[in-house]
Chains A and B, each alone.
Chain A
Amino acid sequence: MGECIVITSGKGGVGKTTTTANIGAGLSLRGKKVAVIDADIGLRNLDVVLGLENRIVYDLVDVVSGNCKTRQALIKDKRFENLYLLPAAQTKDKDAVSQAQMKVLCEELKQEFDYVLVDCPAGIEQGFKNAIAGADRAVVVTTPEVSAVRDADRIIGLLEAAELRNPKLIVNRVRHDMVKRGDMMNIEDITDILAIEIIGVVPDDEKIIISTNRGEPAVATQSLSGQAFRNISARIDGEEVAFINFDQNNGIFDKLIKLFNFSK
């Protein structure tokens, strides 16, 4: 029996879909059988991020309305063994799926998969309620900006109200140079405010854009963001992994400053 994890954020554009794609691929690299569900009905995107857009026949709405069997709608990723995508419907309206239907679907998929990841739409309306309906755990994605952190706080409240306790936090698009200058909130600032456990820090990395352009999840590439997503996948899978030290690529000047600060 697997586990269903919803990836949510409240605010749009913080990287939910990219995160879902990379954790899904990351878990499959660890040998787990993973299904990723795009719950953003009408704004389908997980398919293009994963590079599977040309292989869609049926979608989520087809499955819940009984037009096809679940198995028929699942697209098998040829690069990542045991990674399957259930795409969102692009044309139908967002109320085409109910919370009860999502619950049944997640239960069904949990029978066959180790992990079922649900990519939640932005906002706090029906789409959000549907996406969390079948979830056992929640991951909240935010960026170090006031708007994203504020929305994350709201989402954490709503998750707890829906009995999804102890959501975990991913801080995406961290720019270490700005953090060092004091022009970007650091991880401690954000966890201080949101008071939830952090499960990953992803640096702002152009490799993410490049890999999304190609439809190849960055988790399989040699990059800082790829490493960050591999670490997150491992933590979700129950392994303890140390957080990346972003100072590792710094020159001698930074090292001197560090030494100076340390000796103070």
Chain B
Amino acid sequence: MFDLLKFLSRQESSKNVAKERLRLVLVHDRANCSPELLDLIKEDLITALSKHIEIDQDGFDIQITKTDASTNGLPALVANIPIRSMKRS
């Protein structure tokens, strides 16, 4: 009966909205990652990767993402690193 009412009103129950909002906000809280820290990680990654490949630093982007099954429910650091060319030794 309640399901029927919900179906008719076509509005998501407020508890589901609350749960989804909490999930999102907690991903950021738990990652506990300041923009400064992200910048540091970015610089270190550029230094390390530059030994092997030439990367496009303007297109370089890293972020902490939402949880998903592939990371076992943990937030993940996702980096998008455009490669200009591989360095051959």
Which A residues are within 8 Å of any B CB, using their own CB? 145-146, 149-150, 153-154, 157, 179-186, 189, 192-193, 257, 260
Q: How far is the CB of B23 from chain A (nearest CB, A)?
A: 7
Query: Which residues in B have their C-beta under 8 angstroms from that of A260?
Result: 1
Q: How large is the interface on B (under 10, 10 to 19, 20 to 34, 35 or more residues)?
A: 10 to 19
A150 x B15 contact (CB < 8 A): no
CB contact list, B30-78 vs A, under 8 A: 30, 32
B26 x A189 contact (CB < 8 A): no
A193 x B13 contact (CB < 8 A): no
B1 x A185 contact (CB < 8 A): no
Q: How far is the CB of B34 from chain A (nearest CB, A)?
A: 15
Query: Which residues in B have their C-beta under 8 angstroms from that of A184?
Result: 14-15
A153 x B29 contact (CB < 8 A): yes
Q: What is the interface of chain A mostly: helix, strand, loop, or mixed?
A: helix
Query: Which residues in A have their C-beta under 8 angstroms from that of B13?
Result: 181-183
A193 to B29 Cα, complex, angstroms: 13
Evaluate whether A185 and B2 lie within 8 angstroms (CB atoms) in the complex, with A153-B26, A153-B29, A153-B30 already known: no
A146 to B13 Cα, complex, angstroms: 14
B8 interface residue (CB < 8 Å to A):
no
19 inter-chain pairs at a CB distance below 8 angstroms, sorted by A residue, are: A146-B18, A153-B26, A157-B30, A179-B15, A181-B2, A182-B2, A182-B6, A182-B14, A182-B15, A184-B14, A185-B18, A185-B19, A186-B15, A189-B15, A193-B19, A193-B22, A193-B23, A193-B26, A257-B2
A150 x B26 contact (CB < 8 A): yes
A181 to B13 Cα, complex, angstroms: 8
A180 to B13 Cα, complex, angstroms: 11
A153 to B2 Cα, complex, angstroms: 31
B25 interface residue (CB < 8 Å to A):
yes
Q: How far is the CB of B52 from chain A (nearest CB, A)?
A: 36
Q: How far is the CB of A177 from chain B (nearest CB, A)?
A: 12
